[in-house]
Structure 1
Amino acid sequence: MGRRVLFFPSFRGGGFGHVGRCLALAEALQDRGWEAAFVLDGPHAARVEAAGYPVLRPPLPPAPDRLVALLGKGVRLLARWLGRLPPPPAYLVFSDLNFQVLRDGLVTPARVRRQVEAALALVHRFRPHLLVGDTHLLTFIVGRRADLPVVQIIKSVVHPVAPRLIWWREPPAGLLSPDVRPIFSPLLEAWGLPPIRRAEELLDGDLLLVPSIPELDPLPPGLERTRYVGALVRRDPRAVTPAPWFETLTPQRPVVYVTVGGGADLVDGPPFFEAVYGAVAGTAWQVVVATGRFDPRRLPSPPPSVRLERWVPGRAMIARADALLFHGGYGTTMEAVAA
């Protein structure tokens, strides 16, 4: 029987970066004879299944939690429809992963316990030899409780020893980080695990893989169990093959590539694309826009200088473009570095 690895990518934020990195590592391990599966839900589960990997979906939250979430969503939609609620902000400021604890619904010890027990049930079902997490806050706990080694795929800004999510300036004045200790401390003590001061410490493991290079993700020297592994990007021949319509781009005019990446759910549809149209109006640029989940036929008609494509071969397009406008996600960043 071959060795098995179970991946726990973070999936509640909407982006594809966590899942994509795990897929890239799964491919590399599969080449070495490993069998891989994913604990995953949400919009990217189908993509993982299409890549040939089993997906173990965590159970739904208890009925009262689901009811509260549905009621809250209904109230927000009704308020928006009545015009009494302003549009949501373009982005939220996170100063650390304590905010992710709240985003992921880990707001009480009871909820954390339920999710850990559900994850342990999936571990016992698949019987892996190794767990791999990518910013999934419970992978380390599950690994220790199951007596399994844990590898964490981790960006430098959330390294458990030296985290600094907002690295380019000080966090905004008045931004208070949630205190997650009352949520986790009672459980960690009961499970014989060390206490934590901040959520980043939940990303500890037996080996920490930084999916980048020191120039992009600097860390203090000498950190234990930490290794740089470069870009974790899937092998996809389509991404490096120019599309036939590339030939319609005029060589004498600059090309701008615009993509919203795997986090397209956060884009407010037509207003975003209309903003792109307005920004390039009257310029000499040729603009190619990857629309992601948005069907170009249902979007406002673009000006002649703008081409809308639901899917674009990213690496080939970046190599052809003179400028890249994107959301800052991991996959596109690494494609740009490779180009």
Structure 2
Amino acid sequence: MRILFMPAPAIGHAFPLVPLAWAFRNAGHDVVFVTGADAVSVAQAGLPVYDALPGFGSAELEAQFATAVPEIFAPIQASSTEEHLAAMNERKPLILAAWDPVVDQHVALAERLAPDLVVYDPIFGVGPIVAALCGVPAVAHGIGIFRYTPDMLRELPAAVALQRHGVTVPDGITTIDVAPPSLAEGPASPVAMRYTPYSGGGVLPDWLLTPPERPRIAVTVGSLVPRTQGFAYVERIAAAAKKVDAEFVVTLGDSWEEQPHWLPPNIRTTGWVPLSALLRTCAAVIHHGGDGTVLTSCAMGVPQLVLPNGPDRLVNAEVLRARGAAHVVRDDELDHTVIDQLLADGDLHGVASELREEIASLPGPAAIASDLLGQR
């Protein structure tokens, strides 16, 4: 069988699909990705990928969104987790529709591959279009806490692409959740899969093998912030960290070439390090609230401090806070007392362990792949 994976063209949407793709390939099937922008980095996982948007990068994609659908970036004004969730649910049709300008390029390439099964990222409604045009089944593979169901594609304005291609959403699309049931927003999917962290490979530094002499705290803000505000971000962390009896590891990807001399001695900056490998050595993590970072931290059982830097990440943070899995603060609230509270909160550590066990109890990608193949 040829199994086509179609994540939205962004690295944070492509990487969560890698473990299931590996499972299908290990079962002897032909696996291929069609995506674009920095999502083509799935090639690092040893998976073949066609670039549907050659020459088109993540910065251009975000600028396109900001121009075409500025409402999705507007701050959420809410005073409770329920209000945050309601506000984000109202934006879901707009978020689905925001991807429309890059749908046709993906469809044209995917049709030529003649897949037997399409696995797609439900925030990017191209999967059901390709499945309908090719007459094959589709599987919606969630990437985080928020759920986008196939039925949402039938609602305007998200249905524009379907109408343009003369198809409807196929019946019987299976939806896979990767968020543990106690965190998943909305009605749970019948299929829950264990979240298996994947954030790329890399040569690990030797210092990860040395147990830290004091608590180690990972600090990560995803792939975009280090490129746009890395210096200011490190300054904020440094101001708070120098008063905390802990070791901080700040991941900055490729945006920082060497350790700045002005940092306090308890801060280490590093390039790209697979997050799960780093968190295995950490007592806590400070991050931006992105889906991959949230679920990797949960899977590793690490207490979290979230400084959300966007509406969707704010909602992730609120869901974590309601579950008792994270402390949430604004950037300007970050100081040494907040970090001390993160390390000292026994209840937070207890919930982190509960989430790790909940995730570990779910069937893994190999079992899910076998079930999906058995349905054919």
Q: Secondary structure at the match of 1:5?
A: strand
Where relative contact order (Cα < 8 A, 6+ residues apart) is larger, the structure is 1
Q: Distance in 1 between matches of 2:127 and 2:193?
A: 20
Distance 1:32 1:91, change over 3 A: farther
- Offset of 1:9 from its aligned partner? 0.5
Per the alignment, residue 176 of structure 2 pairs with 209
Q: Secondary structure at the match of 1:324?
A: strand
Normalising by structure 2, report the TM-score.
0.61
Normalising by structure 1, report the TM-score.
0.67
Q: Distance in 2 between matches of 1:261 and 1:159?
A: 22
Per the alignment, residue 281 of structure 1 pairs with 242
The answer to whether structure 1 residue 138 and structure 2 residue 126 are counterparts is yes
- Show the 5 A alignment for 1:145-294: 145-154=133-142, 155=144, 157-160=146-149, 181=156, 184=159, 188=163, 191-193=166-168, 206-217=173-184, 219-220=186-187, 226-234=190-198, 243-246=205-208, 250-251=212-213, 253-264=214-225, 267-294=228-255
Per the alignment, residue 48 of structure 1 pairs with 42
Structure 1: tracts of 5 or more residues without a match:
77-89, 164-179, 195-201
Distance 1:91 1:274, change over 3 A: farther
- Offset of 1:218 from its aligned partner? 5.1
Q: Distance in 1 between matches of 2:176 and 2:286?
A: 28
Determine if contact 2:34/2:50 at 8 Å carries over to the other structure: yes
- Offset of 1:34 from its aligned partner? 1.2
The answer to whether structure 1 residue 7 and structure 2 residue 23 are counterparts is no
Deviations 1:257-286 (A, max 9, x none): 111234446752211111111121233221
Determine if contact 1:162/1:219 at 8 Å carries over to the other structure: no
Determine if contact 1:101/1:137 at 8 Å carries over to the other structure: yes
Q: Which of structures 1 and 2 has the bigger CA Rg?
A: 1
Determine if contact 1:288/1:306 at 8 Å carries over to the other structure: yes
Paired letter, 1:281: K
Q: Give the counterpart of 1:329 among 287, 290, 298.
A: 290
Distance 1:184 1:317, change over 3 A: closer
Range with greater deviation from structure 2 (295-304 or 148-157): 295-304
The answer to whether structure 1 residue 28 and structure 2 residue 28 are counterparts is no
**How many pairs are equivalent?**
276
The answer to whether structure 1 residue 97 and structure 2 residue 121 are counterparts is no
**What is the aligned-residue identity percentage?**
24
- Offset of 1:289 from its aligned partner? 0.8
Q: Distance in 2 between matches of 1:32 and 1:129?
A: 15
Distance 1:182 1:332, change over 3 A: closer
Structure 2: tracts of 5 or more residues without a match:
68-72, 77-86, 301-376
Q: Superposition RMSD on alpha carbons, in Å?
A: 4.0
- Offset of 1:51 from its aligned partner? 2.5
- Offset of 1:144 from its aligned partner? 1.3
